[in-house]
Amino acid sequence: MTKLPLIARLAGYRAAHASGKPRQLPINLTVSVTYSCPSRCATCDIWQKKVDDLSVDEYGRIFPTLEKVPIWVTLSGGDQFVRADFDEIVRLVKKQIEPNIINIPMNGVITERIFQLLPKIAEYSAGAQLVLNLSVDEIGEAHDEIRGADRNFEKLKLVSALIHDLKKTYPHVVLGVHTVISKLNVSRIPEIEREARAIFQPDSYIAEVAENRVELETMDKDITPDPADYRRAVQHLQNAIRGHRSTVPVARLVESLRLEYYELSARILEEKTQVIDCYAGWASAHLAPDGNLWGCCVRAESVGNLREHGYDFRSVWFGPRADAFRASVRAHECACPLANASYTNLLVDPRSLVRVAAHMAGM
Ligand code: SF4
């Protein structure tokens, strides 16, 4: 099946948002394959949630109903490597959805399983870009403390060495480092960014603000940094990008999007409003481990469970509960700096796209 050109899809989302009627499936899909996790992060209590995870067979019924529309699929958790069949889920994503990008955030804790599955995941994902983002929230034992996992930082070094090794055989593999900026580390972002780059030698370094999310059971946690502190942290990250611009077009595009995202997320924290329209529920979606479909993980409101709808994504996505969610988002009843949704929001917003193009040109 030929995918509709991205530019046509983006125009379609804008038209659908204006009319309130969805006409397309999402281009950006997150699939959380489990809530289970051995880490006990200060910024996340997702591990406390217990549900009956979708099986590989169930994913095999759901994914074809996405009609190969998603171009960017994030496979998230919990810790995905709790599941011995995680490689099979990646294989199905590649075969049945055919996204351009498969993104896997990794805590690097269950090293034995990671060493067993990651080479197969690299093999199965060939043809897409496989982005493996290591979660690094501090350096050394300070990281282990925030993440509530013994020797986690040392294990991350082993996993990053494995990924560097896989990159020699599989050029589609990209190593990223990802930091959650919280009250616990916001004052040290310049040091963390510099040291993480030196230790892990990633292809990319990204950061996201710690938020109160229903998905993560963090609604009562005091983790989100003060907006002024966050702005100082992202100004450092913006300067770091500007100081090392890539000459490779795809990498330069990602950097340009990130420059714009850091500005957008800082403004959302300061202004507490949707600075640009959110397209969660139109362009992006989140499938929970138990088959519930959400517009986004911040609200984590089920618009229907795929198990109760014959595993048919369309029947839930175009159903009345999803319409109600979209109406609420369209009325700006919520606002947040969630990076995953923000990237597609930036692509759909014409003025942001112009600024991204200016960043591309080095302006
Ligand atoms: S603004 Fe945030 S909370 Fe609201 S729909 Fe978008 S991603 Fe979800």
How does residue 1 score in pLDDT terms, banded at 50, 70 and 90? Answer: low
% of the chain at pLDDT higher than 90: 85
Tokens of 286: 């989140």
Tell me, what DSSP letter sits at residue 54? P
Q: Which of 88, 169, 101 is nearest to 133 (CA)?
A: 101
Closest atom of ligand 1 to 296 CA is: 8
pLDDT at 20 over 90: no
- DSSP-derived pairing of the beta strands 28-32 and 72-76: parallel
Residue 274, ligand 1, Cβ within 6 A: yes
Total Cβ atoms within 10 A of residue 240 = 15
Tokens of 110: 């269950």
What pLDDT score does 104 carry? 98
Q: Which residues pair with 294 in a beta bridge?
A: 286, 302
Any idea which of 15-24, 69-78, 169-178 has the lowest mean pLDDT? 15-24
> Using omega within 30 degrees of 0 as the cis cutoff, is the peptide bond preceding 78 cis?
yes
Residue 318 CA to ligand 1 centre (angstroms): 18
- DSSP-derived pairing of the beta strands 292-294 and 284-287: antiparallel
pLDDT, tens digit, 9 for 90 and up, residues 212-263:
877 767 777 889 999 999 999 999 999 999 987 877 777 788 889 999 999 9
What pLDDT score does 208 carry? 93
What pLDDT score does 216 carry? 67
What pLDDT score does 214 carry? 72
Mutate to test the pocket of ligand 1, among 334, 340, 346, 349 (most ligand atoms within 8 A of CB): 334
Task: Give alpha helix (H) positions in the chain.
Answer: 6-19, 56-62, 86-92, 111-124, 141-147, 152-169, 189-200, 227-243, 249-271, 313-317, 320-330, 339-348, 350-360
What pLDDT score does 252 carry? 82
Measured CA distances, 88 to 10, 33, 54, 62, 154 (Å): 31, 12, 13, 14, 28
Average pLDDT, the chain: 94
pLDDT at 73 over 80: yes
pLDDT, tens digit, 9 for 90 and up, residues 301-353:
999 999 999 999 999 999 999 999 999 999 999 999 999 999 999 999 999 99
Closest atom of ligand 1 to 334 CA is: 4
Tell me, what DSSP letter sits at residue 126? B
What pLDDT score does 128 carry? 97
What pLDDT score does 2 carry? 56
What pLDDT score does 249 carry? 75
How does residue 19 score in pLDDT terms, banded at 50, 70 and 90? Answer: confident
Query: Which residue is closest in CA terms to ligand 1's atom 2?
Result: 336
Which of helix, strand or coil describes residue 172? Answer: coil
Residue 280 CA to ligand 1 centre (angstroms): 6
Which of helix, strand or coil describes residue 206? Answer: strand
Residue 338 CA to ligand 1 centre (angstroms): 7
Residue 335, ligand 1, Cβ within 6 A: yes
pTM for this model (two decimals): 0.95
Residue 139, ligand 1, Cβ within 6 A: no
- Show the CA angle centred on residue 331, arms to residues 77 and 287, nearest 5°: 20
Residue 121, ligand 1, Cβ within 6 A: no
Residue 303, ligand 1, Cβ within 6 A: no
Residue 295, ligand 1, Cβ within 6 A: yes
Residue 130 CA to ligand 1 centre (angstroms): 26
Q: What is the largest CA-CA distance in the chain?
A: 52
pLDDT, tens digit, 9 for 90 and up, residues 130-149:
999 999 999 999 999 999 99
Residue 336, ligand 1, Cβ within 6 A: yes
Q: What is the mean pLDDT of residues 147-165?
A: 97
- DSSP-derived pairing of the beta strands 292-294 and 129-135: unpaired
Mutate to test the pocket of ligand 1, among 28, 219, 329 (most ligand atoms within 8 A of CB): 329
Closest atom of ligand 1 to 328 CA is: 5
Cα–Cα distance measured from residue 210 to residue 131, given in angstroms and rounded to the nearest whole number: 21
Contact at 8 Å (CB) between 205 and 192?
A: no
Which of helix, strand or coil describes residue 284? Answer: strand
Q: What is the mean pLDDT of residues 16-20?
A: 88
What pLDDT score does 258 carry? 93
Cα–Cα distance measured from residue 50 to residue 47, given in angstroms and rounded to the nearest whole number: 8
Residue 196, ligand 1, Cβ within 6 A: no
Match 């770091």 to its residue by tokens. Answer: 240
Residue 280, ligand 1, Cβ within 6 A: yes
pLDDT, tens digit, 9 for 90 and up, residues 91-139:
999 999 999 999 999 999 999 999 999 999 999 999 999 999 999 999 9
Contact at 8 Å (CB) between 101 and 71?
A: yes
To the nearest 10°, the Cα dihedral for 282, 16, 100, 119?
A: 10
% of the chain at pLDDT higher than 70: 99
